[in-house]
Structure 1
Amino acid sequence: MIGIVVSGHINFATGMGSAVKAIAGEQDQMAFIDFVETMSTEELEVALREAAKQVDDGEGVLFLTDIPGGSPCNRAMSILMDTDNVELLAGVNLPMIANAAFEREDSTLPELVETLLEIGHSCLQDMRKELQAMMAPEPELECEDGL
């Protein structure tokens, strides 16, 4: 099973961990690492490396971070650059993280990355437009022969 490490600023990771547990139940090989004010970026990287080792059973590790270019992303990028079978997605949301828990057992690491990217793109919605589309009247069908 693919190991997953979720990281983000302040309580992003542990908050997502609580939500994932409520949605998908307790998860093996999944770690949630917060980057809090009292941590240096070096300490964050040490924690991320240790978490990756703990969740990896040989099928790879996927890092999921909050902000592209933020410290959790940048430190996970350092691990990506010097560690085999590691991938990183930044800018993730709860649907992506929860689905990672559901999809990782029957996927390869590259397949899981693609699936989560699709989910991330599809779950961002303008709800006013969605509501307006639902409330729009059905167009009348024209029948040439009067039936």
Structure 2
Amino acid sequence: MIGLLVTGHANFGSGMTSSVNLIAGEQEAYQYVDFLPTYSTEDLAGGLTKAMDELKDCEGIIIFTDLMGGTPFNTAAQLGRDKENVRILAGTNLPMLVEVVMSRKFMDDLDGLVDSLLQTGKEQVAKFEIKKAEQTETEDEDGI
């Protein structure tokens, strides 16, 4: 199974995990690491290292982060850069996580799964618009 690790600023990791668990149930081979305002970069790196160690027996690890270029992303990229079976994603949204927990049991192609998740993430960002019904003027036969 492919291991999952979710991290980001403040309670991003635990918050997204809470939503995933509500929708899809408790997950195995799944870790999260929050980056609270009181944490240093070293604290974050230690938490990510520990979480990655918990997932070391997985066929691969996908690390989901909130912002490209943010400390959680940069730290994950630094820790995972020399590991052949680790992929790091930025801009994580809930549809991506729901898809991965539903499909990772059936898919062992790490890069194929990542590509699918990126597509889902993009497709699920949308703007809601209320379309106004077209109004047609009717002529009153009696006229005014």
Quickly name the TM-score band, shorter chain normalised: 0.7 to 0.9
Whole-Å Cα distance in 1 between the matches of residues 110 and 44 of structure 2? 23
Q: 2:17 — aligned with what? A: 17
Q: 2:32 — aligned with what? A: 32
What is the DSSP-based 3-state SS (H/G/I as helix, E as strand, rest coil) of the residue aligned with 1:26? coil
Deviation of the 1:136 alpha carbon: 6.2
Note closer, same or farther for the CA distance 1:91–1:101 as it changes in structure 2 (3 Å cut): same
Aligned-pair identity in percent equals 41
- What is the one-letter code of the residue matched to 2:61? V
**Pairwise mapping of residues 1-147 of structure 1 onto structure 2 (< 5 A)?**
1-107=1-107, 108-128=109-129, 131-132=130-131
What is the DSSP-based 3-state SS (H/G/I as helix, E as strand, rest coil) of the residue aligned with 1:106? coil
Looking at secondary structure, tell me which structure has more helix per residue: 1
Deviation of the 1:111 alpha carbon: 1.2
Whole-Å Cα distance in 2 between the matches of residues 99 and 49 of structure 1? 25
Corresponding residue pairs, total = 133
Which has the higher Rg, Structure 1 or Structure 2?
2
TM-score norm. by structure 1 comes to 0.85
Find runs of 4+ consecutive structure 1 residues off by over 3 angstroms: none
Deviation of the 1:112 alpha carbon: 1.2
Contact 1:8 1:33 in 2 (8 A): yes
Whole-Å Cα distance in 1 between the matches of residues 92 and 102 of structure 2? 16
Moved more, 78-87 or 59-68: 78-87
After superposition, the C-alpha distances for 1:53-105 in whole angstroms (9 at most, x for unaligned) are 21232411000000111111000101221222000100111111121111111
- What is the one-letter code of the residue matched to 1:127? F
After superposition, the C-alpha distances for 1:87-143 in whole angstroms (9 at most, x for unaligned) are 010011111112111111122211110110010110011111xx42xx768xxxxxx
Whole-Å Cα distance in 2 between the matches of residues 75 and 112 of structure 1? 22
TM-score norm. by structure 2 comes to 0.87
Contact 1:2 1:56 in 2 (8 A): no
What is the DSSP-based 3-state SS (H/G/I as helix, E as strand, rest coil) of the residue aligned with 1:105? coil
Contact 2:29 2:58 in 1 (8 A): no
Deviation of the 1:48 alpha carbon: 0.6
